[in-house]
Amino acid sequence: MRKLMISTGIVALMLGGAGGARAQEDAARAILERAVKAHGGAEALARIKAERIKFKGSLVLRGHSVPFTDETTVQLPKQYRHVVETNDGVDKHTIIQVVNGDKVYIAIDGKAIKADAALLTEIRTGIELRRAQRLLPLLEDKSYQLAVLDEIKVNDRPAVGIRVTGRGRKEMRMHFDKEHGLLVRAEFPLDDGKGKQVRQHFFFGDYKDIDGFRRYTKVRVYRDGKQVMEAELLDAKTFDKIDESEFAKP
| Model pLDDT, residue 4 | 40
- Indicate the pLDDT class of residue 63, thresholds 50, 70 and 90: confident
Residue 1 has pLDDT above 60, yes or no: no
Instruction: Render 173-204 in DSSP notation, one character per residue.
Output: EEEEETTT--EEEEEEEEE-SSS-EEEEEEEE
Domain positions in the chain are 2-247
Residues in Cβ contact with 244 at an 8 Å cutoff, skipping those fewer than 6 apart: none
C-alpha span between 22 and 8 (Å, rounded): 10
- Please list the alpha-helical segments (H only) found in the chain: 2-15, 17-38, 42-46, 117-133, 136-140
CA distances to 52, 100, 126, 127 from 245, rounded to whole Å, are 14, 10, 22, 19
> Per CATH, is 2-247 categorized as 2.50.20.10?
yes
Range of lowest pLDDT (52-56, 74-78, 144-148): 74-78
Helix (H) or strand (E) holding 170: none
pTM flag (> 0.85): yes
Residue 89 phi, psi (nearest 5): 95, -15
